[in-house]
Structure 1
């Protein structure tokens, strides 16, 4: 059902955006107030539109709609930052001083000073209980937070002024948070022999490496594959969320000709050539001048979440997707983004030591889900960024755009990463371990039928698996002409017995 909003008045963020003509990424929740009727809601693609009855009209002052927005639309730092830059300081100060102890007033007061860096001409509060800045039943927060005596508010944001994601506690995230990643991994690995797990580890490292490159349609050389595997092996040993270490990671995984010594100095974008001298731009990255501050903020947010007991998958989603949205290097950003998922999950002790977690393989097998996790941010962003492309494909961004990347609602990305974690546990790990277990059984059965060298047994299994469980006449003639028809049938049956059911 499509609601008729032509006779309704915008409220909350919708009112503020219209009143001050600000440019900001859309909020997940939009409010209007009708002239009559009951509360009505529609939901589509993660967007919620609410029409409130007349009694909900907050008033005509900016402060009234700021309070309404926090109460019903949620906390959107991007919109608030843009609006605060437009509101005369004396106006917001007067509204706050009219009811300084109200819980939403105090939150707006703190957010104003946090986002603008400007101190309002108001005295500190001297009494009253402390309240949370973000309500912990509605948002993921850093605990225990920092007590701000001036407004008597506990600041529990996931980052600082330079970069601060917001992740809402949706029904999906709350239900998926019940997944105990480490426990599920431990239960899985205890059901397989230790020797098989040691062998599987090599396969899993290779699978993750190839998948991460293949997502970007890259076929790496043997040396680049080995370098990336070496990097994944290091993921469980140290925290790579430091600028020098990120540069080191980039240098290890890209062609030496494209190694960076700092964040990129030029404007880049994600796109594809669709005809001669015509590019389809999918995503515009932050301007180079904005990168140092944005990346510094991302690394601060990482520390806040690491020390603030934020759930590990929420933490990994915010930092890894934040990194790829920054695109701080000329090359290798996507692979580093996926590497950071491993690094953070290992740091937060979510993956048992000695196990590789092939999340990139789950992303590769579910491209629509992965694309959606990126487009949830890139699609609305592309409606706001004004850019030019010259004949050489060099991009120029026309206006200030740094604020768009600073305060991102990353709920969609967190939900997607939970999906990928679930798929990885239930499919990628199980399939790989089952494949090796079946392989061992098949090898043993073949050896019991025909005592031939291990090399030929491995080749026979591989060729049969490539041909629906049977050895082609051509391959038999070139490699296994010594087998009798009976022996061939027995060996094919051994392969089919273990693999056709899987």
Structure 2
């Protein structure tokens, strides 16, 4: 075991500091106890000068904030300036002597820090410490809501005199830092704005918009996976999306959804994996796996999926920010990758489930997040890789004879306690696009089409299917009916009628684009 880091460095675990600094808090604890895990997304250091510059990757503080070279002092620093990092704490608690933690708590037994540390140790390890009752003290929350997203309504722990506002359980509990970007998104009340806007739309129009959006989101979810499903298969998955939030989340429900996604299960094993899993390719000559992401061990799947289900219920009941909860749930699922196939579409279904369960999306309407993700596919992949890529070097594995991977070390905590801040930020941006662009655009299109169709009916008695085909041809040719269409499908129209129809199209759809 090393000594406490007390020298200024320019690089820590391969991550450059913005200026020379001494690692502090979780970074110092990782160095002191040789913790083998991906470093936190944002770490802290003590700068050499009194006006340091912080970045997204480093919180740089002045020398007067320097902790003493001891565990208790660095933990106090970490809780105060970095929040709770369950991954670091879990790894630390596995190797540290119980009496060392007890000594830290006994030094200030009634203090907020000591009670939070006491609770977290017992919560993460399921081992009780020999600590006396702190007496009559003010209840404190485990997470500081100003630092990290938490339950609005936590559970009291009389033993520790704390309110447990963690959004999950020890089996699964990603956390999200309250960054300026996320705080700004939260204040926009996007769900409320969408419900108000859609509430002003005629019910029949809203129903048509909902049907189109549902099918489009289903097709987009398949397209993200590089698939082009049949119309029947896309419609069937659209119906499953429409049911999101109706049934409680359970393993049986996830298995049911996987069967719908796969359709033909003759060549795919259904249910939880019974072997390793990875995302990547194989070497053409040797069939050696070349992973971009390694999934959770199959031995850990029941625990992880059970924790994910508990997280879903707890976050909804505790009134956690619905978009943040949806990001933790959905991206946690796709990192765990519990199934052989269908994980990506189920991952995006979980977004709909979390938003619907919290009554965040308008009644009877889904936010078309898959369509937005498809438009922003490069950023989506970058967000996925923001955790999976740094994680890969910490997973020990060997290839199997079937070209799969076998994980050799304990990796469960990597999937239980990841930092989902980037994922929540991305998802909030997607939701904002649906509220400000996709939903109103679809409503405006339907209003414009109705205006166009009604104008045609006043001019000519034409079936709706023909009016839709006419609209399609006009849209493909900048509002003009092509010579081919005029001599084939619409040869019955005379020049004056065509001219009037083109004017109707321009009036309806140019106004829509304005």
Q: Which of 473, 476, 479 is 1:466 aligned to?
A: 476
Alignment of 1:478-493 (within 5 A): 478-493=488-503
For structure 2, which runs of at least 5 residues remain unmatched after alignment?
1-9, 11-15
> Aligned residue for 2:23?
10
| Aligned equivalent of 1:20 | 33
Once the two structures are superposed, the pairs formed by residues 178-189 of structure 1 within 5 Å of their partners are 178-189=187-198
Deviations 1:401-442 (A, max 9, x none): 111111122122222221111111111111111111111111
Name 1:162's counterpart in structure 2.
171
Structure 2 contact 172–308 (Cα < 8 Å) conserved: yes
Is this contact kept in 2: 1:247–1:260, CA < 8 A? Answer: no
Distance 1:223 1:273 in 2: 33
Q: Contact between 1:250 and 1:259, CA under 8 Å: does it hold in 2? A: no
Judging changes above 3 Å, is the alpha-carbon distance between structure 1 residues 4 and 183 closer, same or farther for their aligned structure 2 residues? closer
How many angstroms apart in 1 are the aligned matches of 2:264 and 2:486?
Answer: 44
SS across alignment from 1:356 = coil
1:408 pairs with 2:421: no
Equivalences, count: 496
Q: TM-score scaled by structure 2? A: 0.90
- Whole-Å Cα distance in 1 between the matches of residues 346 and 395 of structure 2? 25
Question: Normalized against structure 1, the TM-score is what?
Answer: 0.92
CA distance in 2, matches of 1:472, 1:4: 61
The equivalent position to 2:75 in structure 1, one of 31, 42, 66, is 66
Q: How does 1:51-130 map to 2 (within 5 A)?
A: 51-53=61-63, 55-130=64-139
- CA-based RMSD of the aligned residues comes to 2.4
- The structure 1 residue matched to 2:156, chosen from 147, 152, 165, is 147
Helix, strand or coil at the partner of 1:85? helix
Distance 1:413 1:357 in 2: 17
Pick closer, same or farther for the CA change 1:274–1:495 going to 2, 3 Å.
farther
User: Aligned partners of 2:45, 2:280: CA distance in 1, in Å?
Assistant: 37
Aligned ranges 1:274-293 → 2 under 5 Å:
277=287, 280-293=290-303
Q: Aligned residue for 1:475? A: 485
Task: Spell out, residue by residue over 1:276-314, the C-alpha distance to the aligned partner (whole angstroms, 9 max, x if none).
Answer: 657653221101001111111111112211211212222
> In the TM superposition, what is the alpha-carbon distance from 1:4 to its structure 2 partner?
6.4
Q: Which residue of 2 aligns with 1:40?
A: 52
Asked if 2 retains the 8 angstrom alpha-carbon contact of 1:124 and 1:149, the reply is: no
Distance 1:201 1:31 in 2: 47
For 1:323 and 1:187, locate their aligned partners in 2 and report how far apart those are by CA, in whole Å: 31
The CA distance in 1 between the partners of 2:166 and 2:119, in whole Å, is: 12
| SS state at 2:349 partner | helix
Contact 1:39–1:50 (CA under 8 A) maintained in structure 2: no
Residue in 1 aligned with 2:13?
Answer: none
Q: Structure 1 residues 449, 58: CA separation in 2 closer, same or farther (over 3 Å shift)?
A: same
Give the corresponding residue for 2:458.
Answer: 448
- Deviation, structure 1 residue 76: 0.6
Point out where structure 1 has 5 or more consecutive residues left out of the alignment. none
Matches within 5 A, 1:21-420: 21-34=34-47, 36-43=48-55, 46-53=56-63, 55-239=64-248, 241-257=249-265, 262-272=271-281, 277=287, 280-389=290-399, 392-420=402-430
Task: Give the equivalent residue in structure 1 for 2:7.
Answer: none
| CA distance in structure 1 between the aligned counterparts of 2:375 and 2:247, rounded to whole angstroms | 29
Query: Which moved further from structure 2: 426-435 or 143-152?
Result: 143-152
- 1:223 and 1:454 mapped to 2: Cα distance? 23
**Distance in structure 2 (CA, Å) of the matches to 1:286 and 1:137:** 32
Distance 1:94 1:187, change over 3 A: closer
Alpha-carbon distance change, 81 to 3 in structure 1, aligned in 2, over 3 angstroms: closer
CA shift in 2, pair 1:354/1:113, >3 Å: closer
Q: Is the 8 A contact 1:286 1:326 kept in 2?
A: yes
